[in-house]
Structures are given as structure tokens and as C-alpha cells.
Amino acid sequence: MRIGLYGGSFDPIHNGHLSIVRGALRSGAVDLVMVIPTVRNPFKRGKVLSAAPYRYYMVKETIEAEISDPRVIVSDVEFYTEGISYTVNTLRYLTAKEKIFDILTEAGVDERKAREPHEYFWLCGSDILSMFDKWYKAAEIVSIVSLLVASRPGDGIDIDAERIRLNSAFGHEVPLLKFEIEGVEASSSDIRNTGDKTEVPKTAEEFIREHALYGFKDVWEAVDDGTANKFLDYAVALYPILRRKRLLHTLNTGLLSAHYALIHGADVNKALIAGELHDCAKELPEDEQRQMARERSGDLFTDFKLLHSPAGATMAKVKFGIVDEEILDAITYHTTGRGGMTTLDKIVYLADKIEPSRTYTDLTEMRRIAEYDLDGAVRLCLGSVMDKFVKQGREHHPLTNDLARDLGV
């Protein structure tokens, strides 16, 4: 098969990206386009890019809904490659014979076709050509792929002149094909900076709204660089162990916790990490959760639904190297609460219940109050949790009763 690989940050994906994918298929140069959201961008870290799972799911859902063509697949391959996502590393990993076969068949490509020898193209906009020879191991890249360059009317780039320049820079003929696309002018960074969603496809726009994706500028201004990078790395590490909905929920909880920390005077760095890792153990098998819960809290938690909280603290310690007891406590008590909760405990407890994608009940009032009165919001939240328990005939954990007593619920 002739496979077009289209890598990028896609933060967010916009109509210009979709027009490149459509144009490549229309050109007849490729049989299939594989869109590859960059997981660890070599040039942009922490504060500049949204966490990879957000971008991956946004791209996947947008491509599926807006293009809806079996010839276009979205790959999570970079979640499984080590270190910074240099294009050459991704290409080496992806083009290994067994690997590409697995990826294609998993995406529904016929086994016979997936086994054929493949020809690879690197799909890109014409704007990358002027810098392409400076890319990490660019000579190796063009030994694996041909460049398939989208030419947009009026983009002012002379592709033939760039081709001549590249040929002389590499000292040989660089394989390069071009195709025409319609004139969509859009830039992800402009969209992030201005909030203008004119060129954002509807599916992506809904995703951005549902997760308040660009809504935490205050957090990114306040957290330190090391923590921002940890948040991104943990998000990648959580990808294989949490399903879509829970993973996005944990990232949302991290960001909302950090936002509340800024308002209510807790440590923003600790809040970001505690919120992000609070449910990390939730999809482990029950016996593992039980053992890890016992390690953290003895026999304090026995109900299956509660195990993941203390187990999460153990996992945060063992897998993610978190040793800060305030973070570990906030994870341990995020389900039940406890008497004498710290501000950080309350923040993670609350953010877990009301992060932007939560819709189980009308959360408008809790969210409004949480912006200025933490105890008031926790009180309201706890009241609604306790009501639900009473309706379901479930007993409160003694720790929850301690919290209720503290808050006068």
C-alpha cells in the first residue's frame, strides 16, 4: 500500500488539517492516510501543548466524525515509543514489518493488503520545506519516506525552488510530490490565543468545550516547568492503563484542582499532580487494588468502590515516584473525605466530582460557589453524595461521617 503519514500536534485540529488529509486522498498519491498526533513534541513542552491524550482523542473523534472514511486512520503509535517523539523515531518504529501489519489490521485494513510491501509518504504543508533539512536525522527520514507536500493557492511558497534547495542540501534528489488543496487558512496557535473557533470542526469544538481544554491559562502561568512536564509525562503513562473517559476525567481533575489551589491557597503544583493521579489505580484488577489499598491504609477501606483511592496512593508512590504525603493523602481520601481535611484534600475531593466533563447532575451551583467558597462547595457536594447513598440504601463510610460532622452537613 501507499501510506501517507501525517504527524502534528493538532492542538487543536482545524479545517486546514482536514483539507490536507482530504487533498492527499483526492490526489491519488496514497491509498491510506495515517494521522499521528505527536505525543512528546521535540520543540514544545509542558506549558505550550495540551496533554497528549486530549489531542489524540480530539483528533480521532474529529476525523471519524468529519471525514468518516476507512482510508483515514488515527494512530496512537507515539504513546508507545520511548523518549521525545522525533519523526525519525516514529518512522523507524512504525515501518517495522510486524508493527505496521498490526497497526493496519487493528484499524480494519484487510490482512492481505496489510502484508504487502508498503511505500511511505510524509504528508506535510509546504511551510515546513524551508526548515526540513534541519530536522533531526532528516537524511534518514527521506530514506524512509517521500515528502508529499500540500500546496495551498496563495501560500506564497515556491515548492519547486524549495525542492532544488533541498536536493543540494542533501546532495541527492529528495523524493517529493506535491498536491493541491483548497484555501483554508488556519493556525492552531492563533485558535488557542484568540479563541476564534471559525476554522475548528464541530466535533473538535464540542470536545474543547466538554473538557474546557483551553480554559486553564491561570494554571499554566502558575505551575513550575518541572511539574508541567510531569503532568504531560504522567498523562502519557496513564494512557495504556485508563480508558478514554476515565483518563480525560483524571486530566480534567488535575487541572481543575490546580485552578482551585490558586484560588483557595493550596500548592498549585501538588494539586495538579494529586488531581491527575487520583484515579490511577481504578482499572486494576480487584485483588491488586485490595493489596495496594492494604499497603497504604491497612483495613480502613474494604468496599470495592473505595479501594482505588488508597491503592491509587500506593500506585502514585511506586509507579510515579510520588513521595509527598500531602499528595498521597489527597489521593487516599478523594472518595470518602475524612475528618480534618486539608485544603488540598478538599480541592481534589471536589474537583473529582465537578470537573468540566461531569454531567451526572446539575453542577452549576457547586461550580459557581467553588470559585470563592471551598467549604461551601464541598458541603453542597457532600450533601448531594450523601443523599444519593441514602436513596441507594448504602451506608456512609465512617470517614465521610467525620467530614459531614466537620462541615455541619
Binding mask 252-271 for Fe ion (x = CB under 5 A): --------------------
Q: How many residues bind Fe ion (CB under 5 A)?
A: 2
Task: Establish if 276 lies at the interface with Fe ion (CB under 5 A).
Answer: no
Output 39 or 399, the one with its CB closest to Fe ion: 399
Output 66 or 352, the one with its CB closest to Fe ion: 352
Task: Establish if 352 lies at the interface with Fe ion (CB under 5 A).
Answer: yes
- Which of the ranges 42-50, 57-65, 350-358, 366-374 carries the binding residues for Fe ion, by CB under 5 A? 350-358
Q: Report in angstroms how near the CB of residue 270 gets to Fe ion at its nearest.
A: 17
Give yes or no for a contact between 5 and 100, defined as CB atoms under 8 angstroms apart. no
Q: Report in angstroms how near the CB of residue 282 gets to Fe ion at its nearest.
A: 6
Task: Establish if 345 lies at the interface with Fe ion (CB under 5 A).
Answer: no
Output 279 or 345, the one with its CB closest to Fe ion: 279
Task: Establish if 78 lies at the interface with Fe ion (CB under 5 A).
Answer: no
- Which of the ranges 98-106, 267-275, 320-328, 345-353 carries the binding residues for Fe ion, by CB under 5 A? 345-353
Give the integer Cα–Cα distance in Å for 397 and 240. 31
- Residues numbered 203 to 232 that lie near Fe ion (CB under 5 A) are none
Task: Establish if 279 lies at the interface with Fe ion (CB under 5 A).
Answer: yes
Q: Report in angstroms how near the CB of residue 235 gets to Fe ion at its nearest.
A: 15
- Which of the ranges 139-147, 236-244, 347-355, 378-386 carries the binding residues for Fe ion, by CB under 5 A? 347-355
Query: Which residues are near Fe ion by CB under 5 A?
Result: 279, 352
